[in-house]
Amino acid sequence: MQVFLYLAGAFALLITVSDAGAQFPGEVRANVVDVLSGRPVASAEVRVVGTPMTAISDASGALRLRGLEPGKVRLLVRAPGYARLEREIVLTNGPVATVLLELVPQVLEVDGVVASVEARPAGARTLFGEAIRSLSAATVGEIAATIPGLRIESTGRGGREVPTIRGSAGDAVLVLVDGVPINDPITGEADLSTVPAASVSALHVLPGGRSARYGARAEGGVILLETSGGGVADAALGLALGSLGEKVLDGSWRSDAPLGSLELSGGLRQLDGGFDFDIPTDAGGGRTTRVNAQSQTIHARVEWAGDSNATAFRLGVAGERLGRGLPGRSFAPSRHSEQALDRIRLTGSLDWAPGGSRAVGGHGYAVTQTMEHRDPDPPFGDPYDERTTLSSVGGELRAAWSSPSGLRVGVGVDAQKLDVRSTQLADEESPVGRTDVGGWLSLSTSGFLGITLSGTVRADRSGLPSRSYFSHDAGLAWVGSSGLNARIGHRSSFSPPTLGDQFFREGVGVEPNPDLEAERVPSEWVVALAWEDDLAGPAVSVEVEAYRGDVDGMIVWLPDFRFVWSPENRDVRRHGAEIAARARSARGGWDARGHVAWNRTTYDRPGLEDTQVVYRPEFSGGLVLAWTGATWRASTTTEVVGGRYPVPNRVNRLPAFWTADASLARRVDTRLGDLELGLHVDRIFDHEDSLIFAYPDPGRTVRLTVRLAG
Amino acid sequence: MQTLGKLGALLLTVWSLVWSSGCVAADLVAPDEVAREIGVVVTSTDVALTLFDVDDPSDVETIGLGAGGSPVTLAVRGHYAAVPLGVVPAVAVVDLREAEVDGTVPLPEGSGATGVAFANDSIALVANPNLDTVTPVNVWRGTTGPSIEVGRFPQNVVVHGGKAYVVNAELENFAPAGTSTLTVLDASTLTVLGTVQLSGQNAAAAAVGPDGLLYVIQSGVFGEDDGTLSVVDPSTDEEIGFHQGFGGFPGSVAVDPEGLVYVGGFGVGLLVWDSVVESFVRGLDDPVVTGGVRSTSGVGVDSEARVYALSPDCESPAVAHRLDDEFDSEREITVGICPFAIGFAEVEEEG
C-alpha cells in the first residue's frame, strides 16, 4: 500500500513537471512497397523507435511522420504478411526526409492478396504496438475484445480468456503466437490469458473461415499474436501496481548483434484477486467475497533477428509460467482449485527474396508444455489432480512467385507432430500422438481496373481421426481510386474434434462419442465495402462487412434421453454483419475507432429456430478514443455486450451491459530516457456485469504504471 | 391506561381477524374469479417452468427460473411453486397466478438443492443432497430456517399425515453406499421422528397412494437394471412391501386414485404397477413408450386422474404426453428442454 501511495504521489508530482524544450521538428515521408512486386503496401505500421510516434501507410503505401526530433531516427516497419524491417535515417532541423521502405513478403499473407484490404484500419482487425499500448490493457483478452466480431469468454480477472469469433465455439478459433498454435489439445480452446499482454507487439484478427490457409481449427477465425520486435526502445523497464493486489514488472533490452539485433524481454504479473461482490439474485442474492482468485504469470523471451539483402530471419525462445486459482462460479466457489502451466516455445523463421520475382521461406517451432489442474475439495464431485504434458514440433515451407503481369502464385506445406499424455484421457498411461499435414496453393492476379482475383485451395490430412479435409478461399477485391474498395469472398473451413471430445475418461453420466465428426463450414460468403479518405487532415475510414456461413455439425456436449452427456454434432445457422469506423489525425494526435457487430448464431433444431445459441450476444459494440500529445496520452475504451441467453431457449435472458475504461499517461524526458507515468481505471463507472452468469467482476479497479525507456 | 390497553387489544384482535380473513379470501375463489387447473413442468436444460391449462393444453406459458441451475423437482401448493435449482444453492419461488418468479431464496452453499415438498402453506422443505440436510424455506418471506440433518444424499421429500418423509438415496460419490432410507420428520415441529430402512438402493422419489401408503421408487445402480419399489406404511413407519423388476434407473413415481403406480425411468419408459393386486399392468416387457423413445423422465396425475408422461428430450423443446385409458398418448403438450417433473395446481383468474 505504501508503494501504491508513493507511486500516486510521484504521479501527482510528475504531472506538474514542465515540458522539455523542443527543437524545430523534422518530417519523414515514406513509401512502403513490396520488394517482390514493387507494389505499395497498405496498412503498414511505421514506428519511430523509442517514441510513441507511429503512422499507417495508405492505399498507395505512403505515409508521413511529423514532429520528429533532429538526429538519428530508427524506423521499424511492420505489415501483415511481411517480415519486419528496420531502417535508420538521419534528420536535420527542418527538411523533409524521403525514404523508400521495401518489405520482404513472408508468403504469410493474411488472406492472399486481399490481405491489404482486410488489414486496413477501417477494419480495425490489426493492432500494432502503439495501438495496443494506448489501451493500457492488462491482458491480451482485453486487447482482443476491442476487435469487431471477437468476443472473450472470461471467467473473471486473472482467469481464462477464450476468444470466439462471429458466434463460433472457442475451439474453432486458431491462435498462433509467433506462428505457434497455443490451442489446448484437450479442449481445443486457446486461453489468451496465458500470453502476457506486455509481451505482445502486434495482434491480427482474421475473422471467418481460414482453413484454406491455416488448416484445422481456423473455422471461426484466426488470431495471430506477435511477441517480437515491439520496437519500443533499446531498453525499457516497466512497473505497475493496482487494485486487487496487482503487481507487474516487465522489461526489455535490445542490442545490435551479428546480422541483426538481439532482444531480451521478460516480466511477471501477480494478482491477489480477492474482492467483495453481489451474488446474482437468480442465485439467491447476497454479498460475499471472491477467494482463490490469485494468479501469477512469468514470461521471458530471447530473440535474434535481422534482415539484409532481401533476407529476413528470426530465431527465438520464449517461455511462460502461469499459476492461478480457479475460483469457480459465485454460487459454487472453488476454494482450492488450482491451475499451473509451464510452456517453452522455440521458434525460427527465414524468408528470402533473392530478387526478381521469387520469394521462399519457412518457419518452424518446437513446444513443450505441462498443464495441471487440481482440487482436493471441489464444490461438487470427487477430488481431482489432472496433469497433461504436451510436446509438439511443426513448421511450414512456402514459396511465392510473381510475374510482371500481376499474376502471383504461392505454395506451401506445413506439418505438426503432437504427443500428449494426460490423466484426463481414457488411457492416461499411453501418450496420444497425432501428425497433421497440409498443403496449400494460392493464385492471385490483379491489375485490371483495380480488381484482384485470388484463390487458395488446401488439403489437410488429420492424424487423429485419420481423415482428409479440403478447404478453399476464393475472393475478388476491388480498390478504387477514390478510397473506396470492396471485396467478396467464398470460403470453406473445418474444426476437428479435440482429444478431449474423443478420448476423455468415461465417468458416471458421461460417455465418449466415437462417431464424432469435424465441424464444417462448407460455404461461407463474405461481402465487404470500405472507404477511406483524408478529410482536410484527419484520415477517415468506414468498413462494412457481412457474412453468412452455417456450421454443419458444431460439436456441443448434450445429454441424451438417459441424461448421459456426450459430445454431439449439431447444425447451427450463422450470419451477421459488422460496421467499423475510424478517424485519426496524425497532426492532432487523436484516434477514434468504433464498431457495431450483429451476429445471429441460431440452432437448427425443431422448436428452437431463431433461438440464439447460448452466450452469443446478438449485438455488441465498442468505441476507443485515444489522444497522444507531445507529452500526454489519454484514452477511453467502451465496450457494449448485448443481451444473451445463458440457456438454449428464449428464457432467462441476461440483459445487455457496458463497461468503460480510461487511461491517462504522461511522458517526461529524463537523463535515463523517457519516463512515462500512467493511470488506468478499469470499469470506471463500477459496473460489475460479466458475459457469463455468475463469474463476478470486481467493478472499478485502478492501476498505476511507470515505464522508463531509453 | 388499562382501558386504553384493552381497547388497543380489541382493535388489534379485530384488525387481525380482518387481516386473516383477507388472507383466507385470497386463497379462496372470489365470486368474480374462476379456478382452473394448470400443469407445471420443470425443465432442467433451460431452467424453466412450462405452465399449461389441463383443459386447454395449447395454452402454454414458459417462465424462466434463472440464468443458472439444474432443477429437476418441484412442489406446488396453492398458487405457489417451489423449485430447487440443483447446482445453484437456491430455491425459486414462483407465483403461478402471475406466472413470474416471486423470488429466489438462497440455501446453504454446496446444497445441490434437489427435492422439495410443502409442509404447510408457507413452509417448503428443500433437500440438500450434498449436505445431507433439509432446509425449511418460508416461501412467503423468502427466508430459511435452520437445516435439519437427515440421511445421506436426500433427493426428495413427501409430506403426508402430518409427517415429512425425506427420501435418502444413501449415496457416496454418486454410488450407493447402502440401502435407502427415509428420514421421518414432524411436519409441524420439523423434529426428526425416526428413520425407515428400505430394501432397495438409491431412492429417488415417492408418492402417496389412495390407500394412504407411501410408494418409494429406487433407481438402483447406474448402468444396472435393478430399479425397485418399496411400500411404506406411514402409520407404523415401516417398509411393508418391496418389489423388484423396475428396470434401469427409474426416477419418478405417481399414483392415481385407482391405486395404479406409474413409474418413469430413463432406461425403462413408463411402467404401470397395480398396487392392489401387486403386479405389473405394463411391465418391463411391455412398457408404455411415448414419443417413440423407451424413456420417461417424469410422470404425474392431475385431479381428473389423467396421467402425464414426460419425454426426456434434452436438446430441443420436449413433449408431455397425456395418456388415455389404454396408455396411448392422446395429447402432446410442448414443454421446455429436458423436463424432469410435473405437478398440478389450481389457480384463480378473473371470470
CB contacts, 8 Å: B88 with chain A: 282-284, 331-332
| A117: confidence class by pLDDT, cuts 50, 70, 90 | very low
Q: What is the DSSP string of A581-607?
A: EEEEETTTTEEEEEEEEEEEEEE-STT
The whole-number pLDDT of residue B6 equals 47
The whole-number pLDDT of residue A244 equals 95
The whole-number pLDDT of residue A92 equals 63
**Neighbour tally for A60: CB within 10 Å:** 14
Residue B238 to residue A23: CA distance in whole angstroms: 99
A338: distance to nearest CA of chain B, Å?
19
**Mean of pLDDT values over A475-498:** 88
Q: Nearest 5°: phi and psi at A307?
A: -150, 130
Of A285, A561, A653, the CB nearest to B293: A561
Residue with grid cell 459454487, as numbered in its chain: A332
Q: Nearest 5°: phi and psi at B6?
A: -65, -40
- Reference B223, options B253, B247, B187; nearest CA is B247
Relative to beta strand A221-226, strand A173-177 is: parallel
With an 8 Å Cβ cutoff, are A279 and B68 in contact? no
Question: B110 in contact with A at a CB cutoff of 8 Å?
Answer: yes
Q: Does A108 score more than 50 pLDDT?
A: no
The whole-number pLDDT of residue A235 equals 86
The whole-number pLDDT of residue B20 equals 36
Question: B221 in contact with A at a CB cutoff of 8 Å?
Answer: no
C-alpha cell at B249: 434407473
* pLDDT tens digits along A260-285: 889 899 999 999 999 999 999 999 99
The backbone region for A353, taken as left when phi is positive above 0, alpha when psi lies in -120 to 50, beta otherwise, is beta
**Neighbour tally for A212: CB within 10 Å:** 26
Residue A119 to residue A433: CA distance in whole angstroms: 36
With an 8 Å Cβ cutoff, are A647 and B338 in contact? no
Question: A379 in contact with B at a CB cutoff of 8 Å?
Answer: yes
CB contacts, 8 Å: A329 with chain B: 68
Chain B residue with minimal CA distance to A377? Answer: B110
Higher pLDDT, B170 or A499: B170
Give every CB contact of residue A466 below 8 A, 6+ residues apart in sequence.
none
The whole-number pLDDT of residue A119 equals 31
CB contacts, 8 Å: B314 with chain A: 558-561, 563
**Mean of pLDDT values over A467-476:** 93
A680-697: buried (b, 16+ CB within 10 Å) or exposed (e) per residue? Answer: bbbbbeeeebbbbbbbbb
Question: B314 in contact with A at a CB cutoff of 8 Å?
Answer: yes
Residue A112 to residue A64: CA distance in whole angstroms: 27
Residue A267 to residue A129: CA distance in whole angstroms: 17
Q: Which of A20-29, A141-150, B313-322 has the lowest mean pLDDT?
A: A20-29
Best of A291, A557, A563, A572 to mutate (most B CBs within 10 Å, chain B): A563
CB pairs under 8 A between A and B: 134
The whole-number pLDDT of residue A289 equals 94
Q: Does A450 score more than 60 pLDDT?
A: yes
CA quadruple A375, A378, A384, A386: dihedral positive or negative? negative
Higher pLDDT, B220 or A584: B220
Q: Does A440 score more than 70 pLDDT?
A: yes
Percentage of chain A with pLDDT > 90?
45
Residue with grid cell 507494389, as numbered in its chain: A39
With an 8 Å Cβ cutoff, are A331 and B88 in contact? yes
Of B67, B173, B338, the CB nearest to A693: B67
* pLDDT tens digits along A164-220: 999 999 999 999 988 889 998 888 999 999 888 878 888 888 899 999 989 999 999
CB contacts, 8 Å: B219 with chain A: none
Please check whether residue A470 is in contact with residue A441, taking contact to mean a CB–CB distance below 8 angstroms. Answer: no
| Residue count (chain B) | 351
Residue type, A440: W
The whole-number pLDDT of residue A2 equals 46
- Reference A306, options A374, A259, A240; nearest CA is A259
Please check whether residue B215 is in contact with residue B255, taking contact to mean a CB–CB distance below 8 angstroms. Answer: yes
Please check whether residue A663 is in contact with residue A699, taking contact to mean a CB–CB distance below 8 angstroms. Answer: no
B208-240: buried (b, 16+ CB within 10 Å) or exposed (e) per residue? Answer: bbeeebbbbbbbbebeebbbbbbbbebeebebe
Higher pLDDT, B197 or A71: B197
**Mean of pLDDT values over A492-520:** 82
Question: A450 in contact with B at a CB cutoff of 8 Å?
Answer: no
DSSP SS3 for B10: helix
Q: Does A46 score more than 90 pLDDT?
A: no
Question: A24 in contact with B at a CB cutoff of 8 Å?
Answer: no
The whole-number pLDDT of residue A315 equals 93
Low-confidence spans in chain B with pLDDT less than 70: 1-33, 350-351
With an 8 Å Cβ cutoff, are B48 and A651 in contact? yes
ipTM value greater than 0.90: no
Instruction: State pTM to two decimals.
Output: 0.85
The whole-number pLDDT of residue A562 equals 66
Q: Does A451 score more than 70 pLDDT?
A: yes
The whole-number pLDDT of residue A67 equals 66
Q: Nearest 5°: phi and psi at A12?
A: -60, -40
**Mean of pLDDT values over A580-585:** 86
Percentage of chain A with pLDDT > 70?
86
Question: A512 in contact with B at a CB cutoff of 8 Å?
Answer: no
Question: A558 in contact with B at a CB cutoff of 8 Å?
Answer: yes
- Reference B68, options A690, A283, A380; nearest CA is A283
Higher pLDDT, A538 or B109: B109
Mean pLDDT of chain A: 84
